[in-house]
Amino acid sequence: MKSTHSKIRFFVIVCISILLPIIIAVSSYAENYPDINNIDKKFYYNTDYQFFRRPNSGYVLLSTNKINKSMAALLDENGDFDYSSAFKPTSINFVYENTSLCKNYLYIIGKLPKPSKGVTIGRLDLSNGRLIVNKIIDVECDFSREFTSDTDGKLTIYTAPLGQDINDISVPNVYIFDGEHMNISLSPQPSEINSEPDKNNPDEQNDDNSETDNTDTEKGGEKNKEPEFIPSDKTSLTPQNYYFDTPVTIDSLQSVLDENSLGQKLHVVSTNNQEVKQGYIGTGMTIKTLNKKEVETVYTAVVAGDLDGLGTVTNNDYRILYDYLTQPSSDKKEILSGPFYEAAKITDDLKADKSDRKLHTSDLLKIKKLIK
């Protein structure tokens, strides 16, 4: 019996000697994050938060109020706010639902603000707190599923067209994040699955002896599609800027056209050439007025104070202008250009400013007044 007990004791000692270093390592790593109780409460929402390691040193504390906002605070190794990297926490104008960390970037996804339907994607630079936002409009999304990113900005997100279910056999869509422009609408990349005809399936191959009428195909094998809208000969297709002093929805603008009783219809297209059927008209969107499917006018929307193209004025717009004014001249065009630059120019009565003047710090105060 003594021999048996000795063997058991020896076995237990061996197991403990193997597992103890692992347990200590895991415990020390888990406890390596700062104590949330020692962090100033102005740097996070206490309703929901999590820590991530920054690649060089320190941490980022991501939190959300679970209503309409999130916040990201860059911290140093001691858990104090890292003022050498950012002057204040980054305000995020959506509730984050999922994240993906890739080297120096933290990708954050959540729902588009109502009444829009889709996905907002934020890319947080962990070196300076700068946030760039893209979006995917008119889709369903399962935020609980795996969300991945890579160094080329390739994202995999479980999305589907509006009204279509996402189930156990659904596969994620691939999107390429645009890190140079704000509020770009993304489209899924072509799937590599079944992209070529199955050589074992004759029905998917061209049949030289087929009697099918192929007069509607081009040399490349793609069908000639009749354009949905036929431009009028009298209308220039070069859009001019149309300035909105306040946010406007597609429905309200259509109501204005209906009052004219001319039968005109709106056709709104995003910066990524996707049709937008409802919600706010954002800066950079193309607005066409149609009459019997003929394009009568073409405009580019410029909404006063709307610098991210979501159609309303928020703290994110304030942040964009701040970044523009504080960055070197060589980087300014990557932050604000075209209609977004024009949207930052606001007169003293908070209306869109159509002058050719440059932006200055007083515009920050004007945009701040527009935030609701």
User: Other CB atoms closer than 10 Å to residue 44's CB: what's the count?
Assistant: 24
Element (H, E) at 250: helix 250-259
Q: Of 118-127, 199-208, 256-265, where does mean pLDDT reach its minimum? A: 199-208
**Integer CA distances (angstroms), 37 to 80, 92, 325, in order:** 12, 23, 35
Q: What does pTM read for this prediction?
A: 0.50
Residue 217 gets which letter from DSSP? B
The model's confidence at residue 83, banded by pLDDT at 50, 70 and 90, is confident
Cβ-contact 140, 159 below 8 angstroms: yes
Q: What's the CA gap between 154 and 98, in Å, rounded?
A: 16
Q: What's the CA gap between 92 and 72, in Å, rounded?
A: 8
Structure tokens at 364: 């920050």
211 pLDDT exceeds 60? no
Cβ-contact 82, 129 below 8 angstroms: no
> What tens digit of pLDDT does each residue of 151-160 get?
999 999 999 9
> What tens digit of pLDDT does each residue of 136-177 get?
999 999 999 999 999 999 999 999 998 899 998 889 999 999
> What tens digit of pLDDT does each residue of 245-297 get?
999 999 999 988 888 777 888 999 998 888 898 899 999 999 998 888 788 88
Element (H, E) at 18: helix 2-30
